[in-house]
């Protein structure tokens, strides 16, 4: 698809204003409206050979500097530059010395993304196979969408083979599916251009000014009751997407990193018209347990919500953190600590819901306890505990003292009845399952008057 057509797909019909460069730059820059709100776009144009690669970059950099002065969401469209003879072979770019070392070179491009981080939503659409210096700008954005036949890798296959002697298929090295499911570098694999830009427009609908937010019906399209969706036996895994869909107005939910660390669901929904971040454990995948990559996924999403003042509802159903040499070597303590620091320092409104299992430090990973929340509630059947019963029994094998047995009995007895937590002031409220959306709506309404946007840089993990 031609670059100009992609730009037109992005903006509301009839609102695009192109901002041409004095000389051919290799970029199309534009301002317009997305969902009625002002937004910017800069797109690499593979059909335009710049008079000078370095001079052409200045047009793009000047455009980004202008966004800093008049902030609004920024969408970047990445494609193969015209000076690349083929996407499968690494080029020797012209103006290499200035691009590398000048204060107005590629480094400034990275700097401007970093300065914009948290100030405006930044989202990129990757439409071709990107390599070397062109891989970093997309990853400096908050969210990345990649067409299914596109990709990115620091070294293209020819470089990898010649430098380290590895022959590797491109899909395994830098393909879209790999980045969506293994590296976690992209949020969405798009089948078509239309699919990609629909996702961008939907994503940006959660970042409109309060005055432009739409009203939605209170109830979702589903007639199913929450009590029918949640298994009474906490040992039975279930797909948390069903709960999320029933919370969202009209059942619509935009999920980020949906194919990465799938034991945790992160994304946005409107709840009674209020843009809301939702973080939910998904026991249908790896038991909903936290791994190092789960922590990174949580951290990044929380930092996006915190930067732009979007409240978060945490829906807890997890046995806590994975243990063992594999996760220790992968840095689970470090990743979990960064996640907890991010939760504790987030200024946004946070509601923690103990849905079923809320065990060990997983309580804090879902913003419960003293880590930092505005409200901590539980369903009547929720279990909040250091250990679940099965794990507690395993740990007791081989003999325990009478005192330890009594401590275990008291822990499990209290954990299995959240009313005891309520009596002690450890949680704020117990909510019947079918009143859950109403209670969440009330929480969001109470917090709506507070603008807690911090505009701090996004934590890019």
Strands 429-430 and 375-378: parallel
Q: Which residue has the tokens 């401590």?
A: 407
The neighbouring-strand residues paired with 378 are: 354, 430
Boundaries of every domain in the chain: 3-202, 216-447
Say what the pLDDT of residue 93 is: 76
Say what the pLDDT of residue 211 is: 40
| d(C-alpha 148, C-alpha 151), whole Å | 8
With respect to CATH, is domain 3-202 assigned 3.30.1330.10?
Answer: no
| d(C-alpha 207, C-alpha 72), whole Å | 10
Alpha-carbon distances of 79 from 87, 111, 429, rounded to whole Å: 10, 20, 52
Phi first, then psi, for residue 357 (nearest 5°) are -95, 130
Query: What is the pTM (predicted TM-score) of this model?
Result: 0.93
Classify the C-alpha dihedral 115-116-118-123 as positive or negative.
negative
Instruction: List the chain pLDDT tens, one digit each, 461 residues.
Output: 899 999 999 999 999 999 988 899 999 999 999 999 999 999 999 999 888 889 999 999 999 999 999 999 999 999 998 887 665 666 677 788 999 999 999 999 999 999 999 999 999 999 999 999 999 999 999 999 999 999 999 988 888 999 999 999 999 999 999 999 999 999 999 999 999 999 999 999 999 764 444 444 444 444 468 889 999 888 899 999 999 999 999 878 999 999 999 999 999 999 999 999 999 999 999 999 999 999 999 999 999 999 999 999 999 999 999 999 999 999 999 999 999 999 999 999 999 999 999 999 999 999 999 999 999 999 999 999 876 666 655 666 666 777 767 666 666 666 678 999 999 999 999 999 999 999 999 999 988 756 689 999 999 99
Q: Do domains 3-202 and 216-447 have the same CATH topology?
A: yes
CB 316 within 8 A of CB 368: yes
Say what the pLDDT of residue 209 is: 60
Give the Cα-Cα-Cα angle 77, 171, 254 (nearest 5 degrees). Answer: 50
Say what the pLDDT of residue 391 is: 65
Where are any strands of DSSP class E within 282-410?
Answer: 312-318, 350-359, 375-378, 383-385
CATH of domain 216-447: 3.90.226.10
């Amino acid at each position: 698809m031609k670059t100009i057509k992609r730009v037109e797909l992005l903006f509301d019909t009839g609102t695009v204003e192109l901002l041409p460069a004095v000389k051919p730059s290799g970029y199309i820059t534009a301002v317009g409206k997305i969902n009625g709100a002002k937004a910017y776009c800069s797109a690499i144009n593979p059909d335009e050979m710049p008079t000078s690669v370095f001079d052409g970059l200045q047009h793009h950099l000047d455009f980004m500097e202008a966004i800093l002065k008049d902030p609004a969401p920024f969408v970047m469209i990445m494609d193969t530059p015209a000076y690349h003879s083929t996407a499968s072979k690494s080029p020797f770019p012209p103006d290499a010395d200035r691009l590398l070392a000048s204060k107005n070179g590629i480094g400034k491009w990275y700097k401007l993304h970093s300065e914009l981080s948290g100030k405006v939503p930044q989202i990129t659409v990757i439409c071709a196979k990107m390599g070397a210096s062109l891989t970093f700008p997309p990853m400096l954005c908050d969210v990345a969408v990649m067409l299914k036949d596109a990709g990115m890798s620091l070294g293209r296959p020819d470089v990898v083979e010649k430098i380290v002697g590895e022959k590797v298929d491109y899909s395994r090295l830098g393909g879209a599916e790999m980045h969506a499911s293994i590296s976690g570098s992209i949020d969405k694999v798009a089948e078509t251009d239309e699919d990609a830009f629909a996702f961008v427009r939907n994503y940006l609908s959660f970042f409109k000014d309060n005055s432009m937010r739409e009203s939605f019906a209170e109830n979702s399209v589903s007639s199913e009751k929450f009590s029918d969706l949640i298994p009474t036996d906490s040992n039975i895994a279930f797909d948390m997407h069903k709960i999320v869909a029933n919370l969202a107005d009209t059942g619509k939910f935009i999920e980020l990193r949906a194919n990465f660390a799938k034991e945790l669901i992160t994304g946005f929904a409107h709840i009674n018209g209020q843009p809301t971040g939702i973080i939910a454990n998904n026991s249908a995948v790896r038991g909903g347990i936290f791994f190092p990559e789960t922590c990174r996924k949580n951290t990044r999403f929380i930092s996006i919500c915190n930067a732009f003042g979007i409240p978060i509802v945490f829906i807890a159903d997890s046995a806590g953190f994975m243990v063992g040499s594999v996760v220790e070597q992968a840095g689970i303590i470090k990743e979990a600590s960064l996640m907890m620091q991010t939760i504790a320092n987030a200024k946004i409104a946070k509601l923690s819901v103990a849905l079923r299992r809320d065990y060990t430090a997983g309580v804090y990973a879902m913003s419960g306890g003293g880590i930092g929340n505005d409200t901590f509630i539980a369903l009547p059947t929720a279990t909040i505990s250091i250990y679940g019963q099965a794990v507690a029994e395993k740990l007791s094998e081989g003999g325990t003292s009478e005192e330890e047995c009594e401590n275990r009995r008291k822990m499990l007895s209290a954990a299995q009845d959240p009313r005891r937590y309520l009596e002690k002031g450890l949680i704020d409220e117990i909510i019947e399952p079918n009143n859950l959306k109403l209670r969440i709506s009330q929480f969001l309404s109470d917090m709506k008057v507070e603008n807690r946007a911090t505009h701090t840089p996004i934590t890019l993990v």
